[in-house]
Every structure is written in structure tokens, then in C-alpha cells.
Amino acid sequence: MIATSEAVVTTFDAALREHPALVDAALKTVGREPFGFFLRVSRGVQLERPVSPPERPRGSPPPAEERTLIVAEEGAGLQYVEGCISSAAPLSTATVVLAMPGARVRCTTLRNLPSGAVSIKRAVAEQGARVEWLDGSFGAPTPAVVLEGEGSVLSAAFHGRVGELTRGERRSTVSLDEPGAEALYYLMTRGLDRAAAAALLVNGFFEPFTRELPLEYAVEFNRFVELELKGA
């Protein structure tokens, strides 16, 4: 580290510890776009209904970046759902989750991100906490969760596999087969055209994922899959 009256050269985590005022002022200058969402659930509170960010006004241009911060205090529980099934999606998104000891957080994301978009999803699960990612995004990377305490659990779906990872072990992994040509041919002999048959098979392939979604999001996801198949 180099620290003088004229310059500070150090790692970012050290700067946060030793020069918080400088870092805070700089970040507020860089991140001026007022787009994002903040959710904090107090200790022991269980939210019974899923929480979603407010919708942007119809016809408004998408923001260049969008940030979401979710904090579940000790013993809290929540489900967060965000969806953007449209061509007007942000070019950069970041979702950060902090699950304190014993908290339960489920994050469901449905997005069709444009080519070249950056999507970051990170979480920290402390002792006894559980973080679940249900990611139905097209073009998004696999989420990452840091398991910091004993008994912390990560559950992630859906990139062709459904799995669960606890601190030090991996378990209950199920593979799903892609629909084959024989099934497609069978449905076409029963009167369906190729596009309708393919949509039926693909939606069945995603059924383990969509059955975990709120109904309105499951309908939107199936509709988007059908649009993708028509454009293929």
C-alpha cells in the first residue's frame, strides 16, 4: 500500500476499511443513475408474498445499468422475483444478496438479456442461512454464493440441471434430457405442426423450473420460450 498526502494506492477492500469516506464519495459520483432496488427484511420477519421491484413506466427507455441489494437479517425469510421479458433490457445488472444467520432467501430471475450484456449475481450465506437462485435468464451467467458458516446452503436452478450445494458437500442432483426427434415426430403425427410440437416439448423440459414460479411469471416464461423457438 502507498499512502501519501497526494495519492493512495491500495486494494479495494483495504480502501473500504482505511479510507471509507473517500470511497463513499467516489462511488456516489460514479453510480448516479437512479435505477435499482433495495430490500431489507428485519430480524425474524417472514414475508408471505413474493416481492418484486416496481415496474418502469411503459415506453420509458431501459437504464444502462441496474443494481439490486437484498439484505435478510437473522432468521428472516423472503422471496424476490424480477422479470424483464423484453428486448429493452439493461446492459449491466448486478444483484447482491446478504443472508444473515438462519435467514432464507429465494431469488427468481426471468430476463432475456441482449448480446454483450453483463449480469452479476452474488450472495453471502452466513451460518445456517439458505440462498436459492431460480434463474430463467437467457444470456445470464451462473450465480455465485459464498457459504460462510456451518449449515449454510445454496440451491440453484436451472441450467439443464437442478442441484443443491451445502458447505462441504454436493447432493440431490438431477439431470434432464433434451426432447428427442422421436417425441417430436410423435406429436406431429397427432396433428401438431413442428413449432407447436417443439414448444410443447421444450415447455415440458422446463417444467421443473416453471412449477416453482408464481403463475404470472410461469406464463410469461413459456410465452418467451415459444417466441424464441419461432425465431430459431
30 CB-side CA count, 13 A: 7
Q: Of 153, 175, 197, which one is at a domain's C-terminal end?
A: 175
SS (H, E, C) the chain: CEECCCCEECCHHHHHHHCHHHHHHHHHHHCCCCCEEEEEECCCCECCCCECCCCCCCCCCCCCEEEEEEEECCCCEEEEEEEECCCCCCCEEEEEEEECCCCEEEEEEEEECCCCCEEEEEEEECCCCEEEEEECCECCCCCEEEECCCCCEEEEECCCEEEEEECCEEEEEEECCCCCHHHHHHHHHCCCCHHHHHHHHHHHHCHHHHCCCCHHHHHHHHHHHHHHHHHC
Residues 75 and 160 in one domain: yes
Report the predicted TM-score, pTM, of the whole model to 2 decimal places.
0.67
Residues 126 and 205 in one domain: no
Lowest-confidence segment of 38-42, 82-86, 167-171, 184-188 by average pLDDT: 167-171
Q: Of 160, 175, 190, which one is at a domain's C-terminal end?
A: 175
- The per-residue pLDDT for range 78-97, each reduced to its tens digit, is 999 887 655 555 567 788 99
SS (H, E, C) 84-102: ECCCCCCCEEEEEEEECCC
Residues 133 and 165 in one domain: yes
- For the CA atoms of 67, 72, 73, 75, the dihedral, rounded to the nearest 10 degrees, stands at -170
Confidence of residue 156 (pLDDT cuts 50, 70, 90): low
φ, ψ for residue 170, nearest 5 deg = -125, 135
Residues 90 and 145 in one domain: yes
Residues 65 and 97 in one domain: yes
Contact 123, 99 (CB under 8 A): yes
Residues 90 and 154 in one domain: yes
Domain count of the fold of the chain: 3
Q: What pLDDT is attached to residue 76? A: 96
β-bridge pairing 92-99 and 130-135: unpaired
- The per-residue pLDDT for range 3-39, each reduced to its tens digit, is 555 677 888 778 888 888 888 877 766 555 556 788 9
Confidence of residue 188 (pLDDT cuts 50, 70, 90): confident
Question: Residue 192 belongs to what domain range?
Answer: 177-232
User: Mean pLDDT for the chain?
Assistant: 74
Q: Which residues of 49-79 are buried (b: 16+ CB within 10 A; e: fewer)?
A: eeebbeeeeeeeebbeebbbebbbbbbbbbb
Q: What pLDDT is attached to residue 115? A: 66
Residues 46 and 128 in one domain: yes
Confidence of residue 160 (pLDDT cuts 50, 70, 90): very low
Residues 125 and 41 in one domain: yes
Residues 159 and 186 in one domain: no
Q: What pLDDT is attached to residue 73? A: 96
Residues 26 and 61 in one domain: no
Residues 28 and 40 in one domain: no
C-alpha cell at 2: 502507498
Residues 138 and 62 in one domain: yes
- The per-residue pLDDT for range 97-135, each reduced to its tens digit, is 999 999 999 988 877 766 667 778 888 999 999 998 877
